[in-house]
Amino acid sequence: MHHSKCCADEGFVDQVKEALELPDTLDALGDFFKIFGDATRLKILSALLEGEMCVGTITEVLEMTQSSVSHQLRTLKRARLIKSRKEGKWVYYSINDEHVQIIYEMGLSHIKESD
């Protein structure tokens, strides 16, 4: 590998290397952001930001099949972006915590600023 002299001093390079997250953490972060890389999942998150819903409501709102909504809900739940609670025979889904809302809104803000 060719090493060229650069403008950063060695102390700064070492400081940055120490500050870098561990590879496993960065892999997990990459996987986390992949969840946001699907328009259907984003639609579901967008809908759930309006409030808690059961699968049937999400299906109607997004005009999608129940199987495709259920599949994406499982993915979102595994990633801990949403949570569910059971009430009788109904399961209600909601955004897991404010981090999910903040990440969604920050992404949206970034996209809308670029226009």
Name the residue ranges covered by the structural domains of the chain. 10-114
What pLDDT sits at residue 55?
95
CATH classification code of 10-114: 1.10.10.10
pTM reported for the whole predicted model: 0.82
Cα 79-83-84 angle, rounded to 5 deg: 135
Structure tokens at 110: 């970034």
pLDDT, one tens digit for every residue, the chain (115 residues): 556 667 778 888 888 888 898 889 999 999 999 999 999 999 999 999 999 999 999 999 999 999 999 999 999 999 999 999 999 999 999 999 999 999 999 999 999 996 6
From the CB of residue 45, how many other CB atoms can be counted at a distance below 10 Å? 21
Backbone angles phi, psi at 97, to 5 degrees: -160, 175
* Cα separation, 98 vs 83, whole angstroms: 12
What pLDDT sits at residue 88?
95
* Cα separation, 108 vs 21, whole angstroms: 26
